[in-house]
Each structure stands twice: as C-alpha cells, then as structure tokens.
Amino acid sequence: VIDGVPRFGTNTTEGEMRLSDLNPDDIESISVLKDAAAAAVYGARAANGVILVQTKRATGNQKVSVNYRGQFNLQQATNLPEFLNAYEFAKLYNRALENSPSAVGMIRTHSNPNVYGDENLIDYLDKFGYSMIHSLSVSGGNNFVKYYMSGGYTNTKGLYSGVGRDRYNYSM
C-alpha cells in the first residue's frame, strides 16, 4: 500500500506503481501489518501481511528546499571459479555414468557445439561493472499551497557483457 492506495499489480501494464518503481529517496516511512490487523483492513488479499509505505510530503510554511543525491558504485567479481573444458568434463561425467561414451567423441570433435559447447563463459564477464544514481527533489509551500516534486535516474552496467539498465522515475 503506497500512500493509502493498495498496489496489487506485478507489472505496470495496468498503470499501477509497484514498490520497486518507487524512488527510495521519496520514502518517509515503512510499516508492516500482519495477521488480524492486516486482514481486518484489507481482507483476504492481506493474508500474508501488508507493507504500508508513506512517501514524503511538503509541510506548511516551508521555504523552497532543493535536495540532490548522487552516487557512483563500482563492482568487481571477487572470486571467479575455474572450470573444466568440455572434453575433461565429459570424461568425468562418463566415468560417473559408466555407460555413455558416445558423448565424449562429439565433444572431442566439436560436432555438436550447441549441446556440448567448449567455451569459457567467464570470458563474457567484464572486469568491472558500475551504477550511477542521481536523485533531485524540490519541496516547499505555505498555508495555502504545498508541493513536493522529485525525479531520479539510475544507470547500471553489470559484470556480464552487454547487460545494463536505465531507469527513470518521478513523483509529484
């Protein structure tokens, strides 16, 4: 439940905001209701409990306040495993099964690479990954008008080559 509105969607095709779509800098408080308290208010859909999220709001007679948060994270794999090549793996696999020697020949001759590939998948990993997070919010107001607006941008590039994500979010 975000700001008193139940959110049951698992995707945004129905126009509902998921909890994962919410900018963490916009969260003021989180509460958890479970057992009878959740069922009394939200019925059978709350059988496993309810997470209540309250987002930030402007307060009365507040000067204009501008907040910015920028963050840069760097990631690196600490320990990568060493793998056998396909032929050595097949020999050990056949020794364990003791009755399927035909696969070893296909692996040795690379005659079926889609099933018995001989690539080191660690080569597809980059040495470093990173993420950049930027968040900007503006709030203020007086006795008649109160406002809180925020926007965020996240760019992530993981260790796996060619995999990344850009995420934009805003709140008014």
Closest CA to 171 of 32, 30, 10, 27: 27
Query: What tokens appear for 154 in the block?
Result: 């996240």
Please give the pLDDT value at position 71.
Answer: 95
Task: Assess whether pLDDT exceeds 70 at residue 11.
Answer: no
Mind listing the pLDDT tens digit for each residue in 117-131? Answer: 777 777 777 788 899
pTM score = 0.63
**CA 52 – CA 30 distance, rounded (Å):** 6
**CA 132 – CA 165 distance, rounded (Å):** 11
Task: Assess whether pLDDT exceeds 80 at residue 13.
Answer: no
CB 50 within 8 A of CB 38: yes
Cα 150 to Cα 29, 61, 73, 135, 168, distances in angstroms:
17, 19, 22, 7, 11
CB 133 within 8 A of CB 152: yes
Query: Radius of gyration of the chain from Cα atoms?
Result: 26
**CA 23 – CA 5 distance, rounded (Å):** 17
